[in-house]
Structure 1
Amino acid sequence: MFVCAIAGLGPIRARMSARLTPSEPPHAPKTTATRRRFFGASAIDTRTGVPHPDRVVLSWVGCTTYALAMGGSVFLLDAWVPRLTSVGYVPATPQDLVDLAPEAIFIGHGHFDHAGDAGAIAEATGAVVYGTAEHGAAIHAQVRHPSFATVGLGDATARPGDRHDFSVGPLEVTAIRHLHSARTAPEHPGGSPRFFPRPQPGVILRHPPTPSAFAQSAARLLDAEGGTVLYQFRVPGFALVWHDSSGPLTEHAPHVLDLLARLPPTDVQIGAVQGYNQISNGLRDPRRYIEAIAPGVFVPSHHDNWLPGLTASAATYDGPLRTEFERLSADPPPRLHTMHDPDDYLHPERLTFPL
């Protein structure tokens, strides 16, 4: 399947993302209904369609994409609905993300499984896209006539550790350039046992791909990383850290760990645990991020079976994650809040945090 996709990538890439129906105002019935579905009925004001600001709610949309209700506004963290090799495993579509009427989209890095739907969603909603300058240029190129704004948080010359502080609506945001996951030599001592779960391709039989869905994602297969950004979002009384990759900072940018340790106290950290270095150093890299950030709660991400045949279900990471938590230097350690696919997709009760 991948060989066919890459072989025909030239003509496929010429097709732009399918146009989506523009979003409606928050008080419109469609928007309110979609927000109630993603965030829970009690989280949304039925008259205005606005999220209640007394809680932070996230809804997992597969891989590292989340819908976020925080400070009375709606945002997207990454923007891609998995459907490359299976359709319907994640019970959402790009149109659903448009119908949330997000105010902004935050991109962690530019690979297809993180930013593949960003252009179409931003075009249909007018949401501002935050990421590196390279992310913005690549996402603009996803649509024919981009009319949405992008905010560049550094460019190709930025170094790991570069920091940007800004506000988006009710959120105070800190963005820090870090590293994408990459394989390094096994660390002795200090590393972790290598880990790679056996692929589980059966999902393809139960949720087979469709030509149109496959083509939409295949058109983005060669999109570049464009830099990798970690975000901390803050409202009074709560701070959330989200990063869609966990890189080998130990070898290549140890000073970034010191910068992460100096962030304001973090209540919840959502971090990628699947990465290229797991075949050499297991889950060591995610552990180093957790040790530096020291959250109250850690939520693993990028560990679901979004690419059946190459990935496995999130449950296979439970054992190695618990082993890593036994090695954490923090006392007390963060609470591990596991998330399992597909049951926890669009399950806001699992990620609701009262203020």
Structure 2
Amino acid sequence: MIAARQKFFGTENINSRTGEVRRDRVIFSWTTNATLAVSLKGRVILLDTYLNRLEVAPDPNKPDLRRTPISVDDLVQLHPEAIFLGHGHGDHADNAAYVAKWLNIPIYASPETCDVMQLDVARMAADPNTANGGAKLVPNARPVTCLPVVSRGSVPGSEIHTIKQLEPLACIVVFKHIHSGAVPTDTSFPSFPVQNIGDPREPDLYPPGTCVTPTKANGLQGCLGNPPFLTPVKGQENLTTTGFGSVAGSPGGPISLFFQFVLRDSHNFTFVWHNTTGPLKEGAGSDPGLPSPTVGAHLFSIMDALPQTNVEFGSIVSLGYATNGTRDAIMYQQHLKPQIYVPIHMTDVAAVSSSLEFKKAYVQAVLAAGGPRPEIRWLVDPNDFLKPMVYDPSDDRWDIDGRKKRVHEFCH
């Protein structure tokens, strides 16, 4: 645990005897795509559990040239107390059931994604894992603790709930929003095109290794866990989720949750995390009640009413980038008004190492759109993996006038 926490949060922030993370800071560590390891004043959680380019680690005596120098075992050894899933697609929910089972910790998700977590447990419990000597993938086939945070089949924005996992340290507000999607070009918005192209040096810098997941997706952006599955070799295990499609009648994957975390301290340091960014203006999506611009407008009104955001971790990538660039991300910010914006959902959907192309389009569009212009702290893959982002929640910068009334309204 000590080594894993030092890896994610920085040696200087970890007690080398106990493994405790310093209790006067909030620390975020990006672990690919939209996955973050977070320590809130020493309370450790995971936001998503997916790892891009998950490859078998080399011999300890050989150079580690993996693009993602993280294993699922690192997530287990981190010893988080809970997992929060923004939605159930594999590039977010892979590994969640595995980590939760070994640590006996809860997953917070939609009820449809919780259904899929139980299917994942059953599949892993039945896996003979002969390639690795028959070791159990999960301790047993009993259901994982997965706690649904919204009602099954509900319309996005129709419910706003709080989660008590981090009380009395922090209030967690959650509601359903809309998964990213493509809509026609919005001619009223000053959108700039995104070139979804990666660094041509990728094959030389990060030659593909052996994917942990035994599939045919062994290319440079492979290791996604998409079938057809092959016979595994030593070191390969299928820890992925089955939530990319409709599973046993459950829509699962695209049902998307928006989370806000509010510390109950003097300044109420507040951050939001949404691992997808939908076309709310059109209200386009597959959830009940959609498509509906009225539902989208209601979601914006919820964001308007939330306690003001200090730091937003939000997906810069949308399935609609080809028609509307970074419009959807900017429209979320027009209502959240964050002080700082940290973009996520890079390494999947977006081409690996395309981050700076999205930055260029975003900077052009946010200036032309007017309105809020948050300080941006851009992440570039893979260079910014496991670089601790450390915030002092007692800094006066986070003390926003009038916020305590909103905190009371949402977190009473």
State the TM-score, normalized to the length of structure 2: 0.73
Provide the secondary structure at the position in 1 that maps to 2:120: coil
Q: Does 1:172 align with 2:171?
A: yes
Partner of 2:210: 210
- Give the CA deviation at 1:91: 1.4
Kindly state the Cα deviation for residue 277 of structure 1 after the two structures are TM-superposed.
Answer: 0.7
> Which residue number corresponds to residue 136 of structure 1?
114
2:20 and 2:114 mapped to 1: Cα distance? 28
8 A contact 2:35–2:92 mirrored in 1? yes
Question: What amino acid is the match of 2:314?
Answer: G
Secondary structure of 2:28 counterpart: strand
1:14 corresponds in structure 2 to none
**One-letter code of the match for 1:73?**
R
1:317 matched residue in structure 2? 358
| Closer/same/farther in 2, CA of residues 336 and 39 from structure 1, 3 Å limit | same
Counterpart amino acid of residue 185 in structure 1: P
Aligned pair partner of 2:30 in 60, 65, 70: 60
Letter aligned with residue 163 of structure 1: I
Q: In 2 relative to 1, CA 234–279 (structure 1 residues): closer, same or farther, beyond 3 Å?
A: same
- Number of the residue aligned with 2:257: 229
Q: 2:390 aligns with which of 331, 349, 352?
A: 352
The alpha carbon displacement at 1:353 in A equals 0.8
Alignment size in residue pairs: 320
Change (3 A) 1:165 1:320: same
Instruction: Please tell me the residue identity of whatever aligns with 2:194.
Output: F
- Computing the radius of gyration over CA atoms, which structure comes out larger, 1 or 2? 2
Change (3 A) 1:249 1:228: same
For the residue of structure 2 that corresponds to 1:186, the secondary structure is coil
3-state SS of paired residue (1:225): coil
Distance between the aligned counterparts of 1:85 and 1:44, measured in 2?
A: 27
Q: Output the CA distance in 1 between the equivalents of 2:190 and 2:156.
A: 22
Aligned equivalent of 2:219 = none
More strand by share: 1
Contact 2:88 2:254 in 1 (8 A): yes
Match of 2:76 among 95, 98, 112: 98
More deviation, 78-87/138-147: 78-87
Give aligned-pair identity as a percent.
27
- Any idea what the Cα deviations from partners look like across 1:46-87, whole Å, max 9, x if unmatched? 333222221110110000001000132100000111126998
Asked whether 1:42 is paired with 2:31, we answer: no
Any residues of structure 2 matched to 1:1-355 within 5 Å, and which?
31-83=1-53, 88-143=66-121, 144=125, 145-161=141-157, 162-169=159-166, 170-200=169-199, 203-204=202-203, 206-215=206-215, 217-218=225-226, 220=241, 222-223=244-245, 224-235=252-263, 236=265, 237=267, 238-252=269-283, 253-304=296-347, 306=348, 310-330=351-371, 333-348=373-388, 351-355=389-393
Specify every segment of 5 or more residues in structure 1 that has no aligned partner in the other structure, as ranges.
1-30
Q: Is the 8 A contact 2:178 2:255 kept in 1?
A: yes
TM-score, scaled relative to structure 1: 0.84
CA 341–200 in structure 1, closer or farther in 2 if over 3 Å, else same: same
Q: More deviation in 151-160 or 93-102?
A: 151-160
Root-mean-square deviation over aligned CA pairs: 2.2
Task: Determine the C-alpha separation between the residues in 1 that align with 2:91 and 2:45.
Answer: 18
CA–CA distance in structure 2, aligned partners of residues 151 and 96 of structure 1: 24
Rate the CA distance shift 1:328–1:75 in 2: closer, same or farther, 3 A. farther
Question: 2: distance between equivalents of 1:211 and 1:91?
Answer: 13
Separation of aligned partners in 2, 1:287 and 1:214: 38
CA distance in 1, matches of 2:38, 2:184: 36
Runs (5+) with no aligned partner, structure 2: 58-65, 126-140, 216-222, 228-240, 246-251, 284-295, 394-412
2:114 counterpart SS class: helix
Task: Give the direction of change, closer, same or farther, for the CA distance of 1:280–1:138 in structure 2 (3 Å limit).
Answer: same
Shift of 1:324: 2.5
Give a deviation string over 1:156-181, Cα, whole Å, max 9, x none: 42111131112212331001210010
| SS across alignment from 1:207 | coil
Residues 240-286 of structure 1 show CA distances to partners (whole Å, capped at 9, x for unaligned) of 10010000001111210110111111110001011111111111000
| Bigger mean CA deviation after superposition, 264-273 or 142-151 | 142-151
Q: Which amino acid aligns with 1:251?
A: E
Question: CA 1:59 to 1:50, structure 2 compared with 1: closer, same or farther past 3 Å?
Answer: same
Output the CA distance in 2 between the equivalents of 1:213 and 1:203: 21
Deviations 1:106-153 (A, max 9, x none): 000110000011011111111210010011111121123145311101
Change (3 A) 1:84 1:54: closer
Could you tell me which amino acid in structure 1 is paired with residue 175 of structure 2? I
Amino acid at match of 2:32: G
